[in-house]
Structure 1
Amino acid sequence: MAQELSHRGDELKGLGWNGPDVARYVELWEYRQRWGAMNLEREDRLFLRKAENALPAILSGRAAAKKPIKDKTYYRWLRFHLEAMQQAETEMGLAEGETGAWPVMLEAELRVLDHYQPVLGLPDTLKAKALAPIRETLASQVAALGNVKAFDFEAPLNALKEKENNRWKHLRDGDGSDRTYPILSAEGRGGFHTEAHDAIHTLIRSTFPSLAETDKPELSHD
């Protein structure tokens, strides 16, 4: 397991911990770094242990790379949402050749990940958060053309969480009320795929730390 170089308060907040508990964790973590765990009160040591047990393990680049990319959490998270949308589209009554814009984006991202094989450890997945506004911008451009359906983006994951203990987050930020599901025509799919690929590829290739020294050739949108 890789050594923590800084506290992980932001991750605890993302897991639903409240502000006072996150602040307490940060304070105790910094105290331990300076003075050592032996100088903490027993109650504080137990609290710090509880917080750290709630956090996902940080793997070193070599250890994380041992797992096939298709088995890594981030990849499986994307694949889950893609398959949920593809299943929903079978009941949307789409015309021949039509498809949702969201599956095209997720397919493009998975294709980039398959090609470059990033480690997808914490440093990479933190950078991947910047893909969220890119997806929203691309989707809104298609929605503006007027051909939209309705899709509950949160329902599939909510159903999964009822069956198993799962800490995945929803694909989209917000309260889940926006169910606008933009549809691409057969003619518009190719151009949108190219645009989505270019935006997603650029961010992944240029910002994921594990790809900083990759020698993989650049992936085209074809």
Structure 2
Amino acid sequence: MDYDYLTGLRSNHPAWRLLNAEHAPLVIGFLHRTFIRPNVRASSEEELAAQLDDYLHHLRERLGEAAFPRQAKEYLNDWAGDTRGWLRRYYPPDSDEPHFDLSSACEQAVQWLAGLDRRPFVGAESRIRLVFDLLREIAHETESDPAARIAELERRRDAIDEAIARVDAGRLMLMEPTQLRERVLQIADTARALLADFRQVEQNFRDLDRQVRDRIATWDGSKGEILDEVFGESDD
């Protein structure tokens, strides 16, 4: 990342625009409360506008009516506009009511800010366990020596037999409350990350579709050639 790249990113990327926005606390606070914290995928315009109306009402009670003078739907449509890019406004199949979802860029900004908050509980054990599990999986699945693979499988079998024997003897190994809490937090973090991944994949497809349409508009060759060129660039 050099100076010119970061300058362009600051001017053009929706996430950076959001962080620089005058009403960033309003936008980020509401979108985090509405989408990120409950892990919501999308919301209808009426439902989201009602939630924003309620959010604005409480803010105006503290800050005055002039703090945020526009109507909720005006804010939503502004946040979904091309100059903002923080929400995606679309019509689901078989519905004539617009719906809203976070844009991938907006989610990145909100999640980054959420990560700045010092967490009172940091669970490292489950992450370390995951790293070692992945390393063991890589080592096992790339092992080309049959004898080594058999030895590893026999080791796992012996460990399972020992666990069964402990249960038969009434020695149940239960998670400590701290361990359980750590796993639950990891599940929640993973679920949010998956939703962010889905949004990013959708955005990638929309960007690719726009790129193909732009190329087709000025392309003189065959359709196969333009598709080969576009998908070839995407694979690089």
Query: What range describes the TM-score normalised by the shorter chain of this pair?
Result: under 0.3
State which structure, 1 or 2, has the greater radius of gyration over its C-alpha atoms: 2
TM-score (norm 2): 0.23
- Structure with the bigger percentage of helix: 2
